C-alpha cells in the first residue's frame, strides 16, 4: 500500500522551493563577480544554490517524483515573479530537468548520505547548465566545457552546504522527520 504524502511534507517542500529562488536572488551578485571574470553568465553558479534547496526538500519525503514536482513549482514561481531571465517559457524545461536528475539519482543511490547529497546537487546543476545552454546560450567547445566545469564546481559547494544543513536538521526535535539520516 502506498503511503500518502503528509501536509507537513508538502508545506516543507513548498518552503524549500521558494527558498531556492530567494537564495538564488541573493547569491547572484556574489557569483556574478566570479563568472563575469571568466566571461560566463552567472546562471550555472546561482542555480546550484537553488538546487540545494530542492535536495533538502526531497530529503523529507520518499515520494518518487518529489524532485521533478519541486523544480516545476520553482519554474512556475520564477515565471510568475519574472525570474526566468532570457528563457521565458522554456524555463519550465530548464528548471524541471534537474528535478528529473534528482529523482533518477534517488532510485540509483540507495544510501542517502553525504555522497548522495553532493552528487545529486552536482549532477542536477550540470543538467541545469546543459539544459539552459540548449535553450538559450548555445555555447560550443571550450566555452561549453568551462560552463559545465563552473556548474560542477558550484554544485559540489552547494552539495557540501546542503549536507551540513541536513545534518543539522537531523537534530531538530519533531520539526520535520527526515526520511534518511545523513551519515558522517
Q: Is 124 within 8 Å of 98 (Cβ atoms)?
A: yes
102 — pLDDT class (breaks 50, 70, 90): very high
Tens of pLDDT along 143-174? 888 889 989 999 999 999 988 888 887 766 55
181 — pLDDT class (breaks 50, 70, 90): very low
Q: What is the mean pLDDT of residues 102-125?
A: 88
Tens of pLDDT along 3-26? 677 777 788 888 888 888 888 888
Gap between the Cα atoms of 171 and 95, Å rounded? 31
Of 23, 18, 6, residue with least CA distance to 71: 18
Q: Which residue ranges form the domains of the chain, and what is each CATH number?
A: 7-170 (1.10.1760)
Tens of pLDDT along 76-90? 888 888 777 777 788
pTM of structure? 0.85
Amino acid at each position: 500500500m502506498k503511503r500518502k504524502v503528509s501536509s507537513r511534507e508538502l508545506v516543507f517542500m513548498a518552503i524549500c522551493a521558494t527558498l531556492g529562488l530567494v537564495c538564488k536572488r541573493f547569491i547572484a551578485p556574489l557569483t556574478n563577480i566570479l563568472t563575469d571574470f571568466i566571461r560566463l553568465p552567472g546562471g550555472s553558479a546561482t542555480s546550484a544554490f537553488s538546487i540545494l534547496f530542492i535536495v533538502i526538500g526531497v530529503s523529507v519525503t520518499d515520494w518518487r517524483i518529489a524532485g521533478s514536482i519541486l523544480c516545476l513549482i520553482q519554474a512556475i514561481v520564477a515565471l510568475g515573479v519574472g525570474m526566468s531571465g532570457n528563457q521565458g517559457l522554456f524555463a519550465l524545461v530548464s528548471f524541471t530537468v534537474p528535478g528529473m536528475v534528482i529523482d533518477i539519482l534517488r532510485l540509483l543511490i540507495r544510501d542517502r548520505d553525504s555522497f548522495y547529497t553532493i552528487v545529486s546537487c552536482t549532477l542536477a546543476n550540470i543538467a541545469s547548465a546543459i539544459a539552459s545552454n540548449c535553450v538559450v546560450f548555445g555555447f560550443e567547445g571550450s566555452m561549453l566545457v568551462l560552463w559545465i566545469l563552473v556548474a560542477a564546481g558550484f554544485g559540489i559547494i552547494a552539495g557540501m552546504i546542503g549536507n551540513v544543513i541536513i545534518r543539522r536538521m537531523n537534530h531538530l526535535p519533531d520539526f520535520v522527520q527526515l526520511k534518511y539520516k545523513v551519515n558522517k
